[in-house]
Amino acid sequence: MRLQLSTWAEAEAYLEEKNGIIMPIGSTEQHGPNGLIGTDALTADAIAIEVADRANAMVAPVIPVGMAQHHMAFSGSITLRPTTLVQVIRDNVQSLAKHGFRRFYFLNGHGGNISTINTAFQEIHAESSLEGGEGGIDCALRNWWIGPEVKKLSGELYGDKEGYHATPSEVSVTQYLFPEAIKDVAMEPAPKMPPRIGDATDYRNRYPDGRMSSDPSLASPQAGARIFEAAVDFLVGDYQEFASGE
């Protein structure tokens, strides 16, 4: 059930029975030679919508821009400062909490968001503890790729060519979701380097075409379909357990 496609009366009826909601969050940043700039937001949103459908849950609009300052040397990337993203998350949660939502399941598509999302959770709880804000709020963070079957598939399909950013796994999922946007780009193997995140200039110098030890030329929509299903299968059960309060 998509909040954006619901009426206020439908949202009110949902809240009479449930108080959980799935919160997709991603990023808008470069993803190497053949990866879509919207990869992290597009994958998180599509997976969240499917999880919500199968779990009979509400899903909020995706937060499409995240903490991606290290990608800003690549054209088209957009970032929020960590402090801004904390406030965006806080305001989304508190707006929905005013209506009765209490269990917020953030389904994340961007590794660079993780520390900021966790900081936002602490700010939300601190406000309740210190300033008498909305109480009883429970927030959880899940990256869509955390399921054991997704990790197994990525290992079987790509091995050490999965890398750390602009991975064949995430590019495969976008190719499955948006076959009309598949990019056929020739590329040489990326050098194997340990991941290191500094500022945008440092990142561009270390990873000139945006990849981090990955080979997204191996991506395919067929693999993307398998990875998507594996992610959804795991997250449906995980969300239901979280929403039940257990």
- Residue 48 pLDDT: 98
Q: Using only C-alpha atoms, what is the Rg of the chain? A: 18
Spans of all domains in the chain: 3-244
Is residue 185 pLDDT above 90, yes or no? Answer: yes
pLDDT, tens digit (0-9, with 9 covering 90-100), for 44-80: 999 999 999 999 999 999 999 999 999 999 999 999 9
DSSP string, 142-186: EETT-SHHHHHHHHHHHGGGS-SBS-HHHHHHHHHH-GGG-----
pLDDT of the residue at 193: 86
Q: How far is CA 194 from the centre of its chain?
A: 23
> In terms of CATH architecture, what is 3-244?
3-Layer(aba) Sandwich (3.40)
What's the token pair of residue 86?
């904390």
pTM reported for the whole predicted model:
0.96
pLDDT in tens, 186-245: 999 888 888 888 999 999 999 999 999 999 999 999 999 999 999 999 999 999 999 998
Average predicted confidence (pLDDT) for the chain: 96
Q: What is the mean pLDDT of residues 154-181?
A: 97
Helix (H) or strand (E) holding 229: helix 221-244
